[in-house]
Amino acid sequence: MNNKFFCPSMMCADFTKLTQEVESLDAAGIDIFHMDVMDGSFVPNFALGVEDFKAIRALTDKPLDAHLMIQNPGNYIDLFAKDLGADIIYVHPEADPHIVSTLTKIKSHGKKCGIAINPETSIESIKELFNIIDNILVMTVNPGFSGQPYLDFVTNKIKKIVNYQETYHFKIVVDGAISVDKITELGKIGVNGFVLGTSALFNKDESYQVIMKNLKNLN
Ligand code: DX5
Ligand code: ZN
């Protein structure tokens, strides 16, 4: 799958052997480490924190993206961009009344900015932001937990978002229940990036090396 990129969701990793996990994922050829941050308010869960970020940042030179599932993310951009070294920062417009200034702030740090949109969020309500973003992260599950089922109705929304790429050139990334079959299906539609959690990568019998080799060879 040429020019497609793969992002392991590190909240699914085994933190009892984090160094080994990061080094073997790195060696297996992943592209971006996907870091889920939650505040127990925007989503009813907690995931990766500041110390997890520092630990993984120190273990790899590969890009880290920060998927901020938090209220008022604008208050924390300096932390994630400057202190923790995130390369791409995704914020939810559903959680931010000042989304344009937040996205502008991310860019002012020289980082890539993206919006992450919930399954129910319409294209109409966010398409003005296409003028600013580098990436769009389309949630294909309700944000907050790994291991959930894929929401089929979101595929139609993805097909419509692909049509805007001709004009705006942002990258489309999908997040949630992304299996090997979904990678093939959505890759053909025009999706560029895939967050890999428990559906395609973690808790499998095969090694990360074998799984990534197979994913990169998919047609
Ligand atoms: C959920 C997170 C996802 C999740 C993916 O809110 O944003 O990144 O970890 O895990 P799976 O693939 O198991 O749905
Ligand atoms: Zn995520």
Q: 36 CB less than 6 Å from ligand 1?
A: yes
Kind plus residue range of the DSSP H or E element containing 51: helix 50-59
CA-CA-CA-CA dihedral for 39, 43, 47, 49, to nearest 10:
-20
Mean pLDDT, rounded, for 98-106: 98
pLDDT (tens digit per residue) in 154-181: 999 999 999 999 999 999 999 999 999 9
Question: Is 80 exceeded by the pLDDT of residue 2?
Answer: no
What was the pLDDT predicted at 1?
60
What was the pLDDT predicted at 183?
98
- The number of the ligand 1 atom at minimal distance from the alpha carbon of 34 is 8
Q: 148 CB less than 6 Å from ligand 1?
A: yes
Mean pLDDT, rounded, for 53-67: 98
Q: How many residues does the chain have?
A: 219
179 CA distance to ligand 2 middle (Å): 15
What was the pLDDT predicted at 3?
81
- Average pLDDT in the chain: 97
> What crossing angle do the helices spanning 50-59 and 18-28 adopt, rounded to 10°?
50
Question: Is 80 exceeded by the pLDDT of residue 99?
Answer: yes
pLDDT (tens digit per residue) in 106-157: 999 999 999 999 999 999 999 999 999 999 999 999 999 999 999 999 999 9
Q: Is 78 a catalytic residue?
A: no
- The number of the ligand 1 atom at minimal distance from the alpha carbon of 147 is 13
Mean pLDDT, rounded, for 177-206: 97
Cβ contact 119:151 at 8 Å: yes
